[in-house]
Amino acid sequence: MTFTIAIDGPAAAGKGTLSRRIAEEYGFHHLDTGLTYRATAKALLDRKLPLDDEPLAAEVAGKLDLGGLDRAVLSAHEIGDAASKVAVMPSVRRALVEAQRAFSAREPGTVLDGRDIGTVVCPDAPVKLYVTASAEVRAKRRFDEVVAGGGTADFETILADIVRRDERDAGRADSPMRAADDAHLLDTSEMSIEAAFSAAKAIIDAALKQ
């Protein structure tokens, strides 16, 4: 049997970096499920198709190749916003969740991160983490990333975008973003990535011994 680590939480909480570190540490396969929603949205945007045509979006989602997800291309801010719009549609979620579940069964183990991994995609995962941080801290991290990359950004705009996306993700009817009842909460507001990694590692090592 494979070993799955489910990592959920809002945008810019640090779950991506943490997931990659964990996957590397244990030699597990990693899937950032946000990229599957982003790739679906981008395929629609590229073809100038509407984001709210559910049958069309579900068809695109059903044809997605998990091997072709390019994080550098898909990480653009506007694609994240468009992704959260296609992510409210149940038939899009069904298509993507099927592909995500197939991925989660890979040997010897998998790390999946997203919004509904512990609650919907892999409810039986032996380790569930819910990584969060205050909206202000998350907006500051995004702001610093943009500035470090040589871009210009407005902190208040980034903060407003983050709050709006949180509301859309937590408020939707199908698979809203939330911590599973048996998830370990990691608030990274005042925690370095190293400290978050050590806390996660202690939880995972304890579960692997069982």
Q: Which residues sit at the interface with ligand C5P, rule CB under 6 A?
A: 11, 33-34, 37-38, 80, 83-84, 87, 114-116, 165, 169
- Residue 120 CB, shortest distance to ligand C5P, in Å, is 8
- Residue 115 CB, shortest distance to ligand C5P, in Å, is 4
- 55: preceding bond cis by omega (within 30 degrees): no
- Residue 206 CB, shortest distance to ligand C5P, in Å, is 25
Q: Is the dihedral of CA 149, 155, 159, 160 positive or negative?
A: negative
Nearer Cβ to ligand C5P, position 80 or 109?
80
- Residue 98 CB, shortest distance to ligand C5P, in Å, is 13
115: CB partners within 8 A, 6+ apart: 8, 9, 10, 33, 34, 87, 169, 175, 176, 177
Nearer Cβ to ligand C5P, position 84 or 110?
84
CA dist., res. 152 & res. 121, Å (int): 37
Nearer Cβ to ligand C5P, position 83 or 204?
83
Nearer Cβ to ligand C5P, position 157 or 198?
157
Helix (H) or strand (E) holding 148: helix 135-148
- Residue 198 CB, shortest distance to ligand C5P, in Å, is 23
Q: Which amino acid is at 162?
A: I
Nearer Cβ to ligand C5P, position 33 or 202?
33
15 neighbors 50 (Cβ within 8 angstroms): no
Q: Is the dihedral of CA 8, 13, 17, 18 positive or negative?
A: negative
